[in-house]
Structure 1
Amino acid sequence: MRSLLALLIVTLALAELCCCEKGKGTSSQEGSQRAIKKEVANAFVKRKKRSSPYEWYFEYYKSPLEQMHERCENYPPCDLLSDQVGFALAYNRFFGRY
């Protein structure tokens, strides 16, 4: 029992040292990491301009089929059954007519 306790204490001490080492870093490393994160964030946020009212409409409003999919996904029994037998059968089983 004492050997197990000693092993646990040594493991926790090593884990603490590893965590403390990660916290230390030079300012140049942190600055370069921040710059990379900003570049990735900017690339992710940029979006294509909408070229027509049709694209604008479907960006903001969901189709009825997509609404039904979300309704089924939000109800766990329907979601589970849809993985097994398919969306149409699962939706009909729990919510009635497709």
Structure 2
Amino acid sequence: MRSLLAVLMVSLALAVLCYCEKDPKDPSGSPSTDSIRIKKEVANTFVKRQKRSNLYERYLEYYKSPMEQMHERCENYPPCDYLSDQIGFYTAYNRFFGRY
């Protein structure tokens, strides 16, 4: 009985291998690396970064506004964050941290 089971398992394994084998000339297979290459000029125009137009935009990129700093301070303190959802940011911030 075991020898019959072993022969059956081997024949099933061979059948699966034969069924899963692909023809290398089949056009429905995966594309080759030559077919997916694009020219450098096309790639550069597609991935071109936007440049900053003036110093003010660069300044804003590095430094946060005072209002954003206040929001982060309130968000990092859980009672203030919870209360700001209930009664508003300004009131909650003033209650926990005072004015400015």
TM-score normalised by the chain length of structure 1: 0.52
Count residues in correspondence: 56
Q: Which runs of 5+ in 2 are unaligned?
A: 1-29, 31-46
1:95 aligned residue: 97
**How far apart are 1:92 and its partner, in Å?**
0.3
Aligned residue runs from structure 1 range 14-93, under 5 A: 47-93=49-95
* Structure 1 runs, 4 residues or longer, greater than 2 Å off: 45-48
Structure with larger Rg: 2
Q: Aligned partners of 2:75, 2:48: CA distance in 1, in Å?
A: 29
Paired-residue identity, %: 82
Would you tell me which structure has more helix in proportion to its own residues? 1
TM-score normalised by the chain length of structure 2: 0.51
* 1:47-68 alpha-carbon deviations (Å, 9 max, x no partner): 5211100000001100001000
- Matched AA of 2:79: P
Q: Which runs of 5+ in 1 are unaligned?
A: 1-27, 29-44
Root-mean-square deviation (CA, aligned residues, Å) is 2.0
